[in-house]
Structure 1
Amino acid sequence: MKGIKWALLMITLLLLQACSSSSNKPNYDTSLYQGRPIETLTQGPPPVSEVEAIQRGDAALNAGNIDLALYEYIRSMSFSPLDYKDKTLYTIGQIHLSRGNNELAEKAFLMSVKENPNNVMALQQLGNLYTQLGRVEEGESYFLRSVNADQIRLGSKAMIDYNSLNKQSVEALVVDSQSPAVSYMGLGIIADVENKYDIARVLYDKASIAAPQMTKVLINQGYSYYMSGDYTKAARYTQNALKREPSNEKAQNNMALIYLAQGQENQALNMFSRHMERFEALNNVGYFLMLKGRPEKAIPYFQQAIDSKPSYYKLANDNLDRALAEVRAKEVIVTSN
């Protein structure tokens, strides 16, 4: 009997030890967590529901306690049933994205889409993430899925895909203030790169309806007209962007390029000079004049850039040598003819 009692005692002790060790481990997936040690985040009683955990996460996020917010959102997914899991995963992805952690952001967005294939914003963020990483085809596919998921949300029968993308199919899409403006803009940029300017502009119009205050849309609309050679409309959209954000460097650069295309070198120089040193602005004007096949006009700008910063600006020296070589090559061609 003693042997049996000892055996039962040992089993009980082992079970207690196992329970004790397992209680130290969280009963939720921490693979999406990255931050301070979890045990340092909170000493309060755990939440009792998904909603309470999410509310705690929202409060922590509003207070700027990002690690605690992330922790609360993650443990909100340990409850059952889960009514907000795809939205919570999207929020987790946004947190990682804001911290520059693309790998965990991508993982969270993919999990969100797996949970809900029609999560418009998660699809949009995957499209944006992939295009920024140079994975344009993947990015485009998620942008398209985002737009189509939004049509489902809006009860629209209009759908688009890559093979049938045209001006008419884009015009048929329904848009409201919750529509994925970045997806429309991203598809517009891709269309511009493929010289499908008419499609790009309808896509930008849709983005503008969804997010009328988004300056990036105006900048891309302007650049679309610049690429197609309509410098008047290009200037109009770009100037409107600069009225909203006078210090926007992208808009300033684009406006400088438009001035150069219109033969207004001084205005271009002044525009470049808003956000760079004078010698850099001079070099830029010369460089773009050279790209436009006007090396003879570029030479004085390179020379001025060198004079402004002779000890430093090797780039202007290299560009000057190239411009002089191109001018000599032109002279040889004229002479030989």
Structure 2
Amino acid sequence: MWIKIKTIALTIALLSGCAASDNTDEFNNSLYAGKPIESLTNAEPPKNEEEALARGDMALANKDIDLALYEYLRSLSFAKAQYKDKTLYTVGKIHLSKPDFELAERAFKASLQENPDNVGALEELGSLYSRSGRTDEGMSYFIKAINADLIRMGATPNLSKETLSIEQISQLKYDDMSPDGAYNGLGVLYDVQGQHEIAQSLFVDAIEIDNGNMDALINLGYSYYMSQDYPKASVYTKAALKRDNNSEKALNNLALIYLAQDQVRQALNVFSRHLSMPEALNNVGYFLILQGKAEQAIPYLQQAIDKNPSYYEVANKNLERALSMVREGGSTSSITVQ
């Protein structure tokens, strides 16, 4: 799937009056992965950084990703290159779209070597490390991204893991160019740690920065679910579904909210909006088990099996687990979900 990337945004006017090439280095292919270079273009080499970037922007607009990557990397070889950190950030985003996480990480780090306060590169590294389970590094880069943005806005970059609090978050300065992804990502990490109020404050900031940030809106609802504030959880989750009524994540979260309030029929109806009936019944049983309601789960799992006895093996496994829990009063480990 194509991922939209913000390009360097240079104008064609920059190309006027081009002098002879100031290229001093050979093309560095350490950040390139794609079609053979010789097959990409027969055009004359660009005369300067601006021309190479304009070619990259045009190729990207035409969704010719390999050519765009090649032209952006060519722009880095000019002695007077001024946009290296931004170009390397764009190169990293292209690698994310492939996806090639190793080269993306390398490009974002190279961007930071050119400009340690490149907000986008810091934010993307935070996301990369968080998704790969390196949560301490992810948190560190998200905080660095927010601090770099504070510098951009002329504010004091004083955010740290040691001092972060609801009060400090409420005083953060931001605008519509601020890294809402860093606020959202940091919120997720604090939510996982059980610090829900801090997480909720960060999600609210992310939404205020970008009102279209669905992830932050869904995460805010789920955070309230985690803190057992089910009315607020329902409000924000339903608000997300008003924007996208097919969001599986929001639908699953709404079903969990209903189950937590013993509204099992409503939860089943929500699951069935995007799942087959056997899958919906199994999900109800599965999540009832997770909520410590194994006895209530049994009839739903039995119905899932009855509706698809030959295929729905997963419901059989969950039923075995539920029956075992009822007999023994044991833990909820080793549960299978599809």
TM-score, normalized by the shorter chain, greater than 0.5: yes
Match of 1:52 in 2: 51
Instruction: Report deviation, 1:157.
Output: 1.4
CA contact (8 A) 1:158 1:172 kept: no
Higher RCO, 1 vs 2 (CA within 8 Å, ≥6 residues apart): 2
Structure 1: where are the runs of 5+ without partners?
Answer: 1-25, 331-337
| Aligned length in residues | 305
Match of 2:174 in 1: 175
Match of 2:325 in 1: 326
**What do the CA deviations read for 1:98-121 (whole angstroms, capped 9, x no partner)?**
001001100000000111000000
CA distance in 1, matches of 2:74, 2:112: 19
CA contact (8 A) 2:143 2:160 kept: yes
CA contact (8 A) 1:54 1:72 kept: yes
TM-score when scaled to structure 1?
0.88
Match of 2:92 in 1: 93
CA contact (8 A) 1:86 1:119 kept: yes
CA distance in 1, matches of 2:65, 2:319: 51
What SS does the corresponding residue of 1:229 show, helix, strand or coil?
coil
| RMSD, aligned α-carbons | 1.2
CA distance in 1, matches of 2:199, 2:265: 31
Match of 1:335 in 2: none
CA distance in 2, matches of 1:149, 1:158: 7
Match of 1:69 in 2: 68
Instruction: Report deviation, 1:41.
Output: 1.2
CA contact (8 A) 2:148 2:157 kept: no
Q: Which moved more, 1:157-166 or 1:221-230?
A: 157-166
CA distance in 1, matches of 2:193, 2:317: 32
Q: Relative to structure 1, is the Cα distance of residues 158 and 32 closer, same or farther in structure 2, using a 3 angstrom cutoff?
A: closer
CA distance in 2, matches of 1:293, 1:134: 27
Percent of aligned positions with the same letter in both sequences?
Answer: 54
| Structure with max Cα Rg | 1
CA distance in 2, matches of 1:181, 1:258: 26
Q: Which moved more, 1:242-251 or 1:271-280?
A: 271-280
CA distance in 2, matches of 1:206, 1:52: 38
CA distance in 1, matches of 2:62, 2:290: 51
CA distance in 2, matches of 1:282, 1:253: 13
TM-score when scaled to structure 2?
0.88
Match of 1:22 in 2: none
Q: Relative to structure 1, is the Cα distance of residues 170 and 158 closer, same or farther in structure 2, using a 3 angstrom cutoff?
A: farther
> Counterparts of 1:1-337 in structure 2 under 5 Å?
27-329=26-328
Match for 2:41: what amino acid?
A: T
CA distance in 2, matches of 1:121, 1:158: 16
Instruction: Report deviation, 1:318.
Output: 2.1
CA distance in 1, matches of 2:294, 2:68: 57
Match for 1:126: what amino acid?
A: L
Q: Comparing both structures, which one devotes a greater share of its residues to helix?
A: 1
Instruction: Report deviation, 1:158.
Output: 4.7
